[in-house]
C-alpha cells in the first residue's frame, strides 16, 4: 500500500512502555529497572528495499558496572522486538509479498481460496489468498504469519498478525501483534504496537509507540 503511495523511506522514534515491559519483575526491583531503562532512546529506519535498522543512544550520566550491562541487555531486547515487527510489517505495507516479476510459480485452487507457491531468494514461499484478494496466510521455512488486514481506499492496512516461528537462536516463538495506525501525510503508519507471546517457553508482553516520523517519498509511479 505505502509503496503504491510513493513512500520510499521511514525514520522515526520508538518509545517502549517500560511499566508493561517490567510488569512481571518483583515490585521491589521495578523502580530501579525503569530508572535504568529511561536512559535509553530508540530510533528506527526502514525503506522500500527491505532495509531495517533499529538503534539506540544512552542519555544522562555514564553508567558503569551492573547498570551498564543491564541497559545493554534491555536495549538489545527492544531492538530485536522492533526489528522483528518491522521485518513482518514491511512486506505487507511497504515492500512486497509477491515479486513484481514472478516467472515460476504454482497456483492451487482450494475452493474457498488460492495458494500461490514460489521461490524467493532460494526460500520457498506460500501465500494463501481469498477469492476477493485478501491475504490470509504467509508461510516460509521459518514459520507462518496470519495477518489481519483492513481494506481502505488506498489498499490494505495491516492491523495485526499472529505468527509462529522457529528461530535458530531463540527457538520456538509464538506471537500475537496488534497495530494501531495513524495518518501521517495521508499515509497509514503505526502509532502503537502491542506484542504478546512466548519465546523458548518464556512469555513476554511489550508495547511501544512510534513518533516523530520523517518520510521520504517519490512521485507515485516512479521507483
For the stretch 104-120, pLDDT in tens is 899 999 988 999 999 98
Cα 131 to Cα 58, 113, 134, 160, 181: the distances in Å are 50, 5, 7, 21, 26
Residue 2 lies in a domain: no
Residue 222 lies in a domain: no
Residue 51 lies in a domain: yes
Which has more confidence, 83 or 201?
A: 83
Domain tally, the chain: 1
Q: Which of 11-15, 108-112, 121-125, 197-201 has the highest mean pLDDT?
A: 11-15
Which pLDDT score is estimated for 220?
A: 60
Average pLDDT over residues 108-133: 91
Cα 72 to Cα 14, 26, 65, 163, 198: the distances in Å are 16, 20, 11, 27, 21
Residue 201 lies in a domain: yes
User: 222 pLDDT band (50/70/90 cuts)?
Assistant: very low
Average pLDDT over residues 179-201: 93
Residue 5 CA to residue 186 CA, distance in Å, equals: 9
Cell of 42: 530508540
How high does pLDDT run on average in the chain? 91
Q: Is 54 exposed, middle or buried (0-12, 13-18, 19+ CB in 10 A)?
A: buried
CB 171 within 8 A of CB 200: yes
Number of other residues whose CB lies within 10 A of the CB of residue 42: 19
State pLDDT tens for residues 148-174: 999 888 788 999 999 998 877 778 889
Show the domain range for 191. 7-217
Residue 1 lies in a domain: no
Strand 171-184 relative to strand 143-152, pairing? unpaired
- Has residue 191 got a pLDDT over 70? yes
Residue 41 lies in a domain: yes
Cell of 181: 495506525
User: 223 pLDDT band (50/70/90 cuts)?
Assistant: very low
Amino acid at each position: 500500500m505505502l509503496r503504491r503511495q510513493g513512500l520510499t523511506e521511514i525514520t522515526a522514534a520508538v518509545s517502549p512502555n517500560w511499566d508493561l515491559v517490567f510488569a512481571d519483575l518483583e515490585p521491589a526491583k521495578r523502580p530501579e529497572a525503569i530508572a535504568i531503562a529511561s536512559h535509553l532512546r530508540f530510533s528506527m529506519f526502514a525503506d522500500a528495499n527491505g532495509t531495517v535498522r533499529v538503534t539506540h543512544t544512552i542519555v544522562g550520566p555514564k553508567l558503569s558496572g551492573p547498570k551498564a550491562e543491564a541497559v545493554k541487555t534491555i536495549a538489545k531486547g527492544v531492538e530485536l522486538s522492533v526489528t522483528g515487527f518491522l521485518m513482518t510489517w514491511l512486506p505487507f505495507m511497504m515492500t512486497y509479498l509477491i515479486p513484481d516479476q514472478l516467472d515460476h510459480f504454482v497456483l492451487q485452487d482450494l475452493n474457498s481460496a488460492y495458494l500461490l507457491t514460489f521461490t524467493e531468494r532460494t526460500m520457498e514461499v506460500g501465500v494463501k489468498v481469498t477469492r476477493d484478494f485478501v491475504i490470509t496466510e504467509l508461510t516460509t521455512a521459518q514459520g507462518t504469519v496470519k495477518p489481519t488486514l483492513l481494506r481502505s481506499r488506498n489498499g490494505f492496512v495491516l492491523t495485526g498478525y499472529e505468527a509462529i516461528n522457529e528461530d535458530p537462536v531463540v527457538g520456538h516463538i509464538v506471537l500475537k501483534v496488534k497495530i494501531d495506525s495513524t495518518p501521517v501525510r495521508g499515509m497509514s503508519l503505526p502509532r502503537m504496537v502491542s506484542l504478546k507471546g512466548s519465546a523458548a517457553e518464556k512469555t513476554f508482553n511489550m508495547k511501544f509507540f512510534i513518533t516523530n516520523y520523517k518520510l521520504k517519498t517519490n512521485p507515485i509511479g516512479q521507483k
